[in-house]
Structure 1
């Protein structure tokens, strides 16, 4: 593989001080729709048919499995690019390893959105995600948001079976306990 060839810019995840207040802003002011929640700590929002193009995560060092250091400040947690398939993602993972790129988490499959994911660092330490197989919600669908529990199933339905690097310690502790 020569380079990852994404199809489009996908979604972003922002760390926010007050997830409910931020959710109200993005739904009331921008007209986004809620797709799902994880407890009262994270909300997935959509403008189109992708399950989410914006996710908001409550600032809380105990909550943010993905990036504990990012869980204590507002702002970008990660941005993502769509790739064609899981097979392409697996090839990308090998390419990243060959290039010595720091892989943060994945390959995994989230609960909310059902998307496969692989997250890695750019030269400035930003989290970049490639994803595929995002759940689609037609614009005219009568979709009822689900509230997922904050557990291993919402983080990775494959339970780290395909993770390249060790998973975050907080999630490992949850896996052993539940």
Structure 2
């Protein structure tokens, strides 16, 4: 790509069999705000974010990742990206046009190399949002999404070539090789990461908290509510962000984080970190050790939505 057309991560959309339980989780203990609900679809916003919503839940018989949505700077950029994808032989699900979800806008959808549905949009109305106050332990915004791929390097190369993602860092090990590439579309260390997994699936969705105190208060609230904690609290080396990982009611991993590193893109050079070293996975040494359970839960279930566009 000759230009960087994507600006930020907008929302992650999930299909869930037990819709009511998931809605209670995200709009309850997790701290999002239900803004629209209609016929088994709910749109949930983060109070500190100008995005109309950061999570969409859809009632379905099978669990799947419906789509991942990114913003573009303008309608012209949306058209340019669609033309570039078509020229590159990428299958479009829809051509650029009106977006019929809260906030409207102009966008289109397509499949990535692993068969996930990706949406790109511009001119979406800004949601009335507010400053999150001190000690208020609810998400400010959607931070990043991590996706499992059976072919780590092929997926990284596809996102670099077709969507303009830049490589920030890699986690590797002398025993198993590369396991994660951190990718960015701004100076934020990563808006997406690609994890090596046995199948295509969602690895985790991360939500940004106001600061360290709010991150710890939120982590504690979710723990006290009896939600299964997988890993944390701790602080990663790559991205320098905090982490506490939980399972939502259908086994999707969700994370509270804060203080994700912002890079000087003119001077940044990617690192390869040896994740077998404990200080790489957790600088603080406060989290439970990375083990097979943490990895297994992060693999998630096989995504049944590969190369199948969501109905809405």
What CA distance in whole angstroms lies between the structure 1 residues aligned with 2:283 and 2:263?
20
Tell me which residue corresponds to 1:65: none
Match of 2:171 among 28, 34, 38: 38
Deviation, structure 1 residue 58: 1.2
2:212 counterpart of 1:86: yes
Q: CA deviation at 1:73?
A: 2.4
1:28: Cα distance to partner? 0.7
Higher relative contact order (CA 8 A, sep 6+): 1
* Cα displacement (A) at 1:20: 0.8
Report the alpha carbon displacement of residue 121 of structure 1 after superposing the two structures with TM.
Answer: 1.4
SS in 1 for 2:283: coil
Query: For residues 111-122 of structure 1, what are the structure 2 equivalents within 5 Å?
Result: 111-122=237-248
Q: Is the 8 A contact 2:281 2:290 kept in 1?
A: no
Task: Could you tell me which runs of 5 or more consecutive residues in structure 1 were left unpaired when the two chains were aligned.
Answer: 60-71, 172-178
Q: Bigger radius of gyration, 1 or 2? A: 2
Matched, 1:148 2:273: yes
Superposed, 1:65-144 pairs within 5 Å as 72-139=198-265, 141-144=266-269
Q: Distance in 1 between matches of 2:245 and 2:223?
A: 12
Unmatched tracts of structure 2, length 5 or more: 1-28, 32-136, 173-177, 294-312
Distance in 1 between residues matched to 2:272 and 2:290, nearest whole Å: 22
1:142, 1:43 → 2: CA distance?
19
Tell me the CA shift for residue 18 of structure 1: 0.9
Call closer, same or farther: CA 1:143–1:168 in 2, change over 3 Å. closer
CA positional deviation for 1:96 = 1.1
Please give the secondary structure, in 1, of the residue aligned with 2:239.
coil
Shift of 1:12: 0.8
TM-score after normalising by structure 1: 0.79
Q: CA deviation at 1:170?
A: 5.1
Structure-to-structure mapping, 1:1-16, within 5 angstroms: 3=31, 4-16=137-149
- Counterparts of 1:167 and 1:114 in 2: how far apart (Å)? 17
1:54 shift after superposition: 0.6
Q: Using the alignment, how far apart are the partners of 1:150 and 1:125 within structure 2?
A: 24
Give the 3-state SS of the residue equivalent to 1:22 in structure 2.
helix
